[in-house]
Structure 1
Amino acid sequence: MNDLALHGFSLRGILLSRFWGRLVSLLILFVVLPVCQPGVTSMRSASAAESRELQKIKQERQAVEANLNSLKKQLQEYQSKLNSTARKQKQSQRQVEGIRKKIKVLGKLISENQRYLKVLDRDIGRLQGELQSNRRVYGTVSDGFSRTAVSVYKNARNRDVGRLFSAGSVNEVLVRVHYIGFFSRAVHHDVNKLQVAAAQLESSRAELEKSYRAKAAAVKDQERQLKNMAASRRAEERALAKLKKEREADTARVLEARRKRRLLQKRIEGLILAEQKAIEAENARRAARMAPAGRPAPAAGKAVAGRAVPPPPDSPELLRISADFDKAVGQLPWPVSNGRVSQRFGPFKDKELNIVTTNNGIDISVPVNTPVKAVSGGKVAKIAFMPTFGHIVIIRHPKAYLTVYANLGSIRVAQNDLLSSQQVIGASGKNPDGGSIVHFEIWKGRLNQNPEIWLRK
């Protein structure tokens, strides 16, 4: 019975052994056969994969170029609008100032014309008085002359003859004849003179009245021009006020963008400082553990016997996964593919607003949701979030180097994660004004570096 049981067990073992053998053989065939396919098939697959990759890169490049062109167009439109607003404001100011000067000169001209009209009024009144006086004199002389003429006409011949014959001598007769002729000529001369004076005064009065009417019409026209210019000035001042408000709004937007950038940089600097303090504390603890018993360990970086004590070496895992930044100048990959630098490292001046702003890193233009990758292996040291700039990720590398990635719409890493080079840490976010910008920084200790020096050309 035991032999039968043992025999049955052996039989089952043999069957199971054969079953598993065949199963393993089949698995080997399924695994090995695809590898051992003809070379032509492998080459075709590789070529197709390469073609797809090239097509993907081409599409990404086109998307980046389109995004960059859109951002450049927006920047040009904004700058053009700002410049146009400034030009219009200056032009309106010049026009308003010109109108004010014209109004001032016109006001003086009107005042002078009004003063001149008053002088003309006095002259016209004086001439009218003289004219009336001359008319009275003329009337008196005319009346006397008329009476004399009538009397002479009636009896002048007998009277003159009587006077002549009543003379006592011939000389007296001649004298009387002379004076009678002189009197007659004098009367005629005075009458003619008064007539000429009256005609001249009448002509002067008519000319003055004509000039007065012309000046009065000119004053009315100037007053109308003054009213029109005042209306134009009010319109120009309203336009100037509108342009001023637009310029103030544009300036406020620019200053707000500058303020937000400063907030981002201040936040990053705070995170960098906190991380550097954490590194220093970690190095100090490591040095304390490695110090001989009974002897206090020197603080990392403090001088001992006239020499600077170097900090303890980085962890083996960090050295294993990260590049040596001191030797990686110009060799690190870019954090995004096919991006374009839209704002470089360092200070830059806005010529229109005369404002200098400093960029602690570089801004890279990319399409929205572009994968953002670590430029080198490292350890996620800090993760933060800002409403305006999205997620911020700081990665620690050996020799106190840190890399910063900001403006991320989403992240795929957590604090203390170990990352390999080119591992995706997140995706670019969308800017409020459109497009997408990835902000990238490199720090060594507490000193920010120019990232473009380390990135591949």
Structure 2
Amino acid sequence: MQRILVAFTLVFLCAFGAIAQNSSEDLKKKQAEIQREIDDLRNTLNDTKKNKKASLGQLALVQKKLKLREQAIGNINEQINSIQSTISQNYGEIGRLNKELDTLKEQYKKSVVYAYKNRSNYEFLNFIFSANSFSDALRRIEYLKSYRQYREQQASTILNTQALLNEKNEGLKASRRQKDEVLKDAEKEKRVLVVERKEKDEFLGKIKAREREISKEIEMKNRADQKLRVAIRAAIDKEIKAAAAAAREKAAREEKARVERQKELEREREREKARLAAAAKQEQPATKQEQPATEPPVTKTTPAPEPKKQPASTGSVFEATPEGLALSGGFEKQKGKLPWPVDKGTVKLHFGTYTIEDTKIRGNNPGITLETNTGAAVKAIYEGEVTTVFDIEGNWAVMIQHGKYFSVYSNLASTTVSKGQKISMGQTIGRAGSNDDGNGEVEFIITLERINQNPEAWLRRR
């Protein structure tokens, strides 16, 4: 029984150790990913600082870096809790193993004392020969053998338990060292967090100093956004009308074909009726020509049933064709996985209403504003067809249709596509223009027909 308990303990501790190791490795991996993001943001921020003017894009980078730093500290705290849980588990196991080892040693001591007292050959032989029968003597010999094996197993169990105890003690020491290292990392991250909070406050101060200037920029953006909204709506309305007209034409062609089929069936029935009448007339005997003519038998034909009219579709007019339906479905399946329209860049302004901290700057973004390198390649996020290319405030905008969804790329310095062109995912459609601060900038919008969507919900996590 004791050996079974020890074996179970070994299995349990190994399993627990593996789980704890996996959890620790996952947290370390997450920490490394966060640190890579922070490093990328720092490099991007250093590039943007070449422009001495504090911009909303720089502020967004600083705020995102600060948020990632807070995530890093939270992740470190999780690591500390995980290590502390392992330490507590080790303490409990060490205490239990010590008790178990004491019990094993006491039992072994008793068995050794017993063996010592009965060590002589006389006692051994006396025990066997005092048996009542030969079979009883054989059983006693087997008993003595099994008792010897039992003592050997006791010794082996003690050694295994001692080895396990030593291993847990070493593991405890390693966990303590690891905890000390992680605590140092936590203190370091907290010091950096203090510095980065000061950096954010400094940026906010610079933004506040430029509040009037930035407010004018936002007003210009709002005007451009409004023009963009109007242009997008007009383009989508035009596409809806065209799709609806195409659907009506298709329905009219199908109805015309149905009517023609019905008329052809009627003509076929009339021809069959005339043929049967002529055949009946020829078969009448000459002697009966004086009798009143009777109507020839007419073979009744069952008119073909008219095809049932399909109920009016409640779906999108853009899904009236198999191609449109497939594009919509494919686009929806990629939600949260779509590539970003620029390879490198940061979200300067998010979707929807926004307020810049500690300022009166407010706005309502129809999509997301991406700050990137001037002239950076702007790419289609999914396959589709260019619906329109139009001018907004001196820069280009491209709209691509993906079934009932549309993606819009605005503030392009140049474009390489034209209306009606088929586009593949990742294809370059133009180059990023710049804003008044001289930084590269792209406005990116996704709509479900006329309804604006949050693009960040559709794009893959960076």
Question: Which one has the largest radius of gyration?
Answer: 1
Q: How high is the TM-score relative to the length of structure 2?
A: 0.43
